[in-house]
Chain A
């Protein structure tokens, strides 16, 4: 049972346009959501996050939107640049109250290609 879903395996966008990456989740206990970017042969790099008490968080060209009622979040990249080409992972966490762990549950990723 996949608790975090990224239904688009790939996305191609023209340089300068907006990239929108989507993510859905099923576990109502998730209270924090993160986006990671991954280049081949490297570990995931933290990009941006949002708490469940917010509906939007912005950091430069990156904005994450959270719709709790729909259990949906999206990452907007404006304007898209060729260096943004990578695999983007959506992740969610819910504090494990017993152990204090904030383990992350990841989606399968979306490969973004920004075309010059």
Chain B
């Protein structure tokens, strides 16, 4: 399977704990995006990487959130001191080089903060 993969698929954590999610994009894609989707809403953009460089961050990405893509391949999204409002589906997407608007999404990580 050469699609986008995400791990874990589900995460339940207690408020105040730190969590980290991983995304493995399609291998030849150099663009990587993170989105967040809450119930009844469409996905909302969080951050964007081109290769290993994080080039854009949404105002939704508070200082408790950090994302990395150390070697331009997989990416991690960490949330520190989780809050109940962080409960959502976290989606990763990747796309080809310049000129391509189509993004291909992974299955998402469902985070529940209790």
| B42 and A100 contact, CB distance less than 8 A | no
Which residue of A32, A99, A101, A106 contacts B43 across the interface (Cβ within 8 Å)?
A106
| B56 and A49 contact, CB distance less than 8 A | no
Task: With both chains docked as a complex, state the minimum distance between the C-beta of B97 and any C-beta of chain A, in angstroms.
Answer: 10
A-B contact count (CB 8 A): 69
| A32 and B45 contact, CB distance less than 8 A | no
Whether A68 sits at the interface, judged by CB under 8 Å, is no
Evaluate whether A49 and B48 lie within 8 angstroms (CB atoms) in the complex, with A106-B42, A107-B42 already known. Answer: no
| B44 partner residues in chain A, CB cutoff 8 A | 106
| A91 partner residues in chain B, CB cutoff 8 A | 42
Whether A44 sits at the interface, judged by CB under 8 Å, is yes
Q: Which of B12-20, B72-80, B101-109 contacts A (4 or more CB under 8 A)?
A: B101-109
Interface residue SS majority, chain B:
strand
Whether B95 sits at the interface, judged by CB under 8 Å, is yes
Which residue of A43, A45, A99, A108 contacts B42 across the interface (Cβ within 8 Å)?
A108
| A85 partner residues in chain B, CB cutoff 8 A | none
Interface residue SS majority, chain A:
strand
Whether A59 sits at the interface, judged by CB under 8 Å, is no
Contact with A along B84-107 (1 / 0, CB 8 A): 000000010101001011111111
| A104 and B4 contact, CB distance less than 8 A | no
In whole angstroms, what is the CA distance A44 to B89 when docked? 12
Whether A74 sits at the interface, judged by CB under 8 Å, is no
In whole angstroms, what is the CA distance A104 to B102 when docked? 9
| A102 and B43 contact, CB distance less than 8 A | no
Chain B residues packing against A (C-beta within 8 Å): 4, 6, 31, 33, 35, 40-45, 48, 50, 55-56, 91, 93, 95, 98, 100-108, 110
Chain A residues packing against B (C-beta within 8 Å): 4, 32, 34, 36, 41-46, 49, 89, 91, 93, 96, 99-109
